Amino acid sequence: MINYPIKRKAQVKTTSYANLGMTLESDIEATNLFYLNHGVAVIHKKPTPVQVVNVSYPARNKAKITEAYYKTPSTTDFNGVYQGKYIDFDAKETNSATSMPLKNVHPHQIDHLRGVVKHGGIAFLIVHFKKFNQYFFLPAEVLFSYWDSQDDEEKGRKSIPYSAFLDKAYLIPFGFQPRLDYLKVIKDHY
Amino acid sequence: MINYPIKRKAQVKTTSYANLGMTLESDIEATNLFYLNHGVAVIHKKPTPVQVVNVSYPARNKAKITEAYYKTPSTTDFNGVYQGKYIDFDAKETNSATSMPLKNVHPHQIDHLRGVVKHGGIAFLIVHFKKFNQYFFLPAEVLFSYWDSQDDEEKGRKSIPYSAFLDKAYLIPFGFQPRLDYLKVIKDHY
């Protein structure tokens, strides 16, 4: 009997660096995990809401959903606690080099963010300008001012110009750990 | 041409009273909706996390999930903001008249609640003793003390006795609007 050497699959070494910058959402989730593991904050992404229509039970204790549909979320995607403060935000990406279209934000998200601000929470958007690979922390109050004036015939516009991000938003440094240190903006400016 | 009177369907008047006390979760959601609509607080239930395996696209813009499974939530079900404070809790029910079994709480929920308390949030359980139709606000700190001593050979126990609820938890009044005014406990005791 001959012992053939076992062929091993080439082990591709995947570090978290490998996925670096893959998607905005995964970058934020990696950041949140860093915050959690380092005792900085407890911030999570909410699960995507799903309307379940049919469930079957092919095996014990393992319900299989066989028909379901995505629902529109009624809030933002991320929330949590940092230094006793309630934190609430959503993430947006744009391919534009000149502005972020306001249609990227749903009206119910605006309502939700207004409620958060009204009750003393910290509300914002993380906006990724893909063309420049820049990430901005846009305070909800700046978002509201553009949202509320978009139907104004004289000064209204359907987007927030890139220049407003340079003026009124905060650049989030992109790093290794944490990848997107958005809490630094809160630490420095709130 | 004769105009027949249009037959109207009997309008069944459904008030929120109709569902009163239906399930603990729906009572909390009705309470949260009351808080939201009356500008008291912004507190939501997180969607149930689902692992999507297969999606089909039978019609435009309408993805149909054809295979998915429920995932174990890594956090609690409810969170939000009240008077600038981060609020985080889960809801538990028990049929027992003597205690709430600790196995009703998942270890990762304990970890999560510890993180919330560490970062200055307000963490608790709403516990429904169905036998007495009583609802308690159990501060997370009380939960931790029972959780941490459960393997203690001398004084450890696998449940929190009803008497501890009378001593160390707060009774939440059940009413019409809001149904379960758990924020009153925070207002009065925090």
Domain positions in chain B are 18-46+73-189
Please judge whether B84 and A83 are an interchain contact, meaning their C-beta atoms are less than 8 angstroms apart.
no
Choose the closest CB to A121 out of B62, B69, B81: B81
Any CB–CB contact under 8 A between A57 and chain B?
no
Nearest CA-CA partner of A183 in A36, A17, A22, A18: A36
pLDDT at A4: 52
A53 in B contact zone (CB under 8 Å):
no
Residue B148 predicted with pLDDT over 90: yes
CA distance A122 to B172: 29
Q: What is the DSSP letter of B96?
A: -
Q: What is the pTM of this model?
A: 0.86
Residues of A in contact with B116 (CB under 8 A): 42, 81
**Banded model confidence at residue A2, pLDDT cuts 50, 70, 90:** low
Per-residue pLDDT, A134:
96
Strand (E) positions, chain B? 42-45, 50-59, 62-70, 78-82, 85-94, 99-101, 122-129, 134-139, 159-161, 170-171
Q: Specify the CATH number for A19-189; select among 3.40.1350.10, 3.40.630.30, 3.40.50.150, 3.40.640.10.
A: 3.40.1350.10
pLDDT over 90 for what percent of chain A? 77
Q: Predicted confidence band at A73 (pLDDT cuts at 50, 70, 90)? A: confident
Mutate to test the interface with A, among B52, B79, B119, B124 (most CBs of A within 10 A): B119
pLDDT confidence bin for B3, thresholds 50/70/90 = low
Q: Which of A49, A69, A75 is facing B64, going by the closest CB pair?
A: A69
Taking residues B27-41, what's their average pLDDT? 97
Give residue A3's pLDDT. 53
Reported as a single tens digit per residue, the pLDDT across B13-29 is 333 444 445 799 999 99
- The residues that bridge with A138 in the sheet, in sequence order, are A125
Mind listing the pLDDT tens digit for each residue in A15-62? 344 444 579 999 999 999 999 999 999 999 999 999 999 999 887 768
In this prediction, residue B20 carries a pLDDT of: 46
A107's tokens: 């009206």
**A52 at the B interface (CB within 8 A)?**
yes
Q: What is the pLDDT of residue A19?
A: 43
CA B141-A38-B126 angle, 5° bins: 25
Size of interface A-B (CB pairs under 8 A): 110
Supply the DSSP symbol for A135: E
- Domain range B18-46+73-189, CATH class: alpha beta
pLDDT attached to residue B88: 98
Residue in B with minimal Cα distance to A79: B80
Inter-chain CB proximity B83 and A47 less than 8 Å: no
